[in-house]
Chain A
Amino acid sequence: MGIFGLSLRNLLRHPVRSLLTALSLMVAIFLLCSLRSMVTALTAAATEASTTRLWVQSAVSLYVGMPLSYPTRIEAIDGVKEAFPFQWFGGVYQDPSNFFGQFAVDPEKLLRAYPELVWLEGSPEDFIGTRTGALVGTGLAKTFDWKVGDKIPLSGALFPHPDGVDVAWDFEVVGIYEASKASLDENTFFFHWDYFEKTLEVDRDAPVEVGAIVVSIEPTTSATRVMSEIDALYENGPQRVQTTTESEFQAQFASMFGNVPFFVSVIGGAVLAAIVLACINTMLMAAREQTHDIGIMKSLGFPDTSMFRLLLTQSFLLCGVGGAMGLGLALGSEGGMRELVSSMLPAYRILDETKILAVVLIVVIGLVAGIAPALRSSRLKCIDALSARE
């Protein structure tokens, strides 16, 4: 029976208390992994954003449209490869709770600007050549069980169909993609700008406007210069614009959820701190109960370092088991969690850095919870420890 075995036996001396402490740590680590994954999912698009894509929006707000002539003029700026409308559609599929992003885009320019878009089914030619064709992310295809050839009706909540409010916009799934980077959402529905524009033009006095423009620039071009030039181009109207990098644009989009990362971090941190205190309490109680045993072992000749190791090993064991269960639970439920939050946080996944953080935290909690009892036990005078009673 070595130090490890004795540590285990000591933990099992009060199995219910040890189990409850381990379970509380399990919950804390599970929460930490899940909450952190939500934060990383929220900011993933900004973190992995392309450096060769810029976003142009009205300087007033993302909800204010810009004249359709803007992309053409922007393309004339030195270093700009292409610019195209990226229009939020805001349609409803069957039920308003089926929320996902739908964008009217130029198909050819989209495919050139987004090399991270990987075709799973269908082909670029089908998408480009089909006026009502829709290219959908694999996340959406899985959620709604869509296949290539399926007809998808969307009610135009923001842009009602000219034939009537009750008339749906008809689309046909012509392609399914997945994203090789988090900069592209796998729960997005792309369709033809032409179909959008021409359908709306039928019964509209005012010209169709565009809410956002994606600008693709040469890799060697200075994004700062291009952004300045675009902003300067429309400084005097008709609609002033604000050009940002994709990273800034995505971060701005994420900030529309409020300071969620901050609150999530605070909640996660508070839960963790409470659990650390619980672990420290458990270990202090354990050390106090084992004082007499420590006296016995010291009388037999066990050195102070062995007592230090005994208590620290117990702490690491307790925290290790609880933490491992929490990490295991987080990893085991990753798929289910992803489905649960897919509409809001499609990039939800437990990153390696989150796993490493969890492991580091488990070790740190084990150390913090065990260090005081371990030091106390090692410093106890043999004669004093022997006179202690549980």
Chain B
Amino acid sequence: MSNVMIAARGLEKTYTRGEETLRVLDGLDLQMDAGRFNALMGPSGSGKTTLLNLVGGLDHADAGSLEVAGEELAHLDSGSLAHWRAQTVGFVFQGFNLIPVLTALENVELPLQLSPLPRSQRREHALHALELVGLADRARHRPKQLSGGQEQRVAIARAIVTDPKLLLADEPTGDLDRASADAVLDLL
């Protein structure tokens, strides 16, 4: 069985802004194995976020092949891609991306809504994920009532609660102070 988690061949992605065409990915070849912790580094505008979006199935490549966790993403339509994301990927964004009207616990529980788990088990899993990031005592707090570091830890709990095959973090410490950033990196 192949141990490859991400395999990209000739990946291309172009953005058009007004009359300007921006070729962000130009024939990218990439392979990453499962079970590894990989970091993409590069200057701003080099295409890191674009690549993560493609790998995470949030966007489609213009050309090339991209196989993630054994699935060729170019072959999936919008609905199948959403289902694949729910089953395979956990995201941690720079801006936390928590739903403001939900509590920390409800935010973590949100991806489990797409699973067949009964409500009690969903709650149990979400609470366990919050315990793992050290925020069980903040379960009833809304994002606005949490610090930036705590919000990102809730986002990490949400990303891992479904036990995904692939965890994607896009500058997860970008909006945090040094102490919070260290805590989040330790957690990851």
- Spell out A's residues near B (CB within 8 Å): 1-2, 6, 9-10, 12-13, 292-293, 295-304, 381-383, 386
Contacts A13-B101, A296-B99, A383-B53: A301 and B83 contacting too (C-beta < 8 A)?
Answer: yes
Expressed in whole angstroms, the Cα–Cα distance for A2 and B114 within the complex equals: 10
CB distance from A120 to the nearest CB of B (A): 58
B109 contacts partner chain A, Cβ-Cβ < 8 Å? yes
Question: In the complex, A296 Cα to B87 Cα: how many Å?
Answer: 16
B53: chain A residues within 8 A (beta carbon): 383
- Please name all residues of chain B whose beta carbon is closer than 8 Å to the beta carbon of A381 when the two chains form the complex: 59
Instruction: Say yes or no: is B56 at the interface (Cβ < 8 Å to chain A).
Output: yes
Residues of B within 8 A of A301 (CB): 82-87, 111, 114
List residues of chain B with CB within 8 A of the CB of A13. 100-101
Expressed in whole angstroms, the Cα–Cα distance for A296 and B59 within the complex equals 14
Q: Cα distance A241–B114 when bound, in Å?
A: 78
Q: Check B85–A299 contact: CB distance below 8 A.
A: yes
Q: How far is the CA of A6 from the CA of B79 in the complex (A)?
A: 21
Q: Is A6 within 8 A of B101, CB to CB?
A: yes
Starting from the known contacts A9-B101, A302-B113, 8 additional A-B residue pairs (CB-CB under 8 Å) come to A1-B110, A6-B101, A295-B97, A297-B110, A299-B85, A300-B91, A300-B114, A383-B59
* Residues from chain A with Cβ under 8 Å of B98 in the complex: 296
**A302 and B101 contacting across the interface, CB-CB below 8 Å:** no
A302 touching B102, Cβ below 8 Å: no
Q: Which residue of B lies closest to A294 (CB)?
A: B99
Residue among B78, B101, B106, B111 making CB contact with A304, cutoff 8 Å = B78
Q: Which residue of B lies closest to A10 (CB)?
A: B101
Q: Mark B34-65, 1 if CB is under 8 A from A, else 0.
A: 00000000000000000001001011000000
CB-based nearest B residue for A13 = B101
CB nearest to A8 among chain B residues? B101
When C-beta atoms are compared, the residue in chain B nearest to A293 turns out to be B99
Would you call A300 and B79 a contact (CB within 8 A)?
Answer: no
CA distance A214 to B100 in the complex (A): 72
Contact residues, B66-95 vs A (CB, 8 A): 78-79, 82-87, 91, 93
Selected A-B contacts with CB under 8 Å, 7 pairs: A12-B101, A293-B99, A293-B100, A299-B58, A301-B84, A303-B83, A386-B58
Identify B97's interface contact among A6, A299, A303, A304, CB under 8 A. Answer: A299
A299 → chain B closest CB, angstroms: 6
CB closest chain-A residue, reference B80: A303
Given A9-B101, A383-B53, A303 and B59 contact (CB-CB distance below 8 Å): no
CB-defined contacts of B56 to chain A, threshold 8 Å: 299
List the B residue with the shortest CB-CB distance to A304. Answer: B78
Docked-complex contact A300 and B58, CB < 8 angstroms = no
Q: Are B102 and A6 in contact, with the CB atoms below 8 A? A: yes
Chain B residue nearest in CB terms to A296: B97
Rounded to whole Å, the gap between the CB of A18 and the closest CB of chain B is 13
Kindly state the separation between the CA atoms of A300 and B159 in the bound complex, as whole angstroms: 9
CB <8 Å contact, B79 and A9: no
Among A299, A300, A382, the one with the most B-chain Cβ atoms within 10 Å of its Cβ is A300
Give the residues in chain A near B102, CB-CB below 8 Å. 1, 6, 9
Distance to closest chain B CB from A15 (angstroms): 12
Is B97 a contact of A298 with CB atoms below 8 Å? no
Closest to A3 in B: B113
Q: A382 — which chain B residues lie within 8 A by C-beta?
A: 58-59
- Bound Cα distance A13, B142 (Å): 13
Contacting pair B111 A300 (CB below 8 A):
yes
Which residues between 91 and 147 of chain B lie within 8 Å of chain A, taking CB atoms?
A: 91, 93, 97-102, 106, 109-111, 113-114
Contacts of A299 in B (CB 8 A): 56, 58, 85, 91, 97
Neighbour of A302 across the interface among B82, B91, B97, B109, CB < 8 A: B82
Q: State A328–B111 Cα separation when bound (angstroms).
A: 39
**In the bound complex, what is the Cα–Cα distance between A9 and B110 (angstroms)?**
14
* Chain B residue nearest to A300 in the complex (CB): B111
Contacts of A10 in B (CB 8 A): 101
Could you tell me if B58 and A302 are in contact, using CB atoms closer than 8 angstroms?
no
Residues of B within 8 A of A303 (CB): 78-79, 82-83
How far apart sit A293 and B143, CA to CA, in the bound complex (Å)? Answer: 13
Measured between beta carbons, the chain B residues less than 8 angstroms from A386 are 58, 93, 97
A383 and B109: CB pair below 8 A?
no
What is the CB-to-nearest-CB distance from B15 to chain A, in angstroms, rounded to a whole number?
11
A75: min CB distance to chain B, Å: 78
Chain B residues with CB under 8 Å of A296's CB are 97-99
Chain B contacts for A300, CB-based, 8 A: 85-86, 91, 110-111, 114, 158
Of all chain B residues, the one with the shortest Cβ separation from A1 is B106
Q: How many angstroms between the C-alpha atoms of A303 and B158 in the bound complex?
A: 18
Beta-carbon nearest neighbor of B111 in chain A: A300
B109 touches A1 (CB 8 A): yes
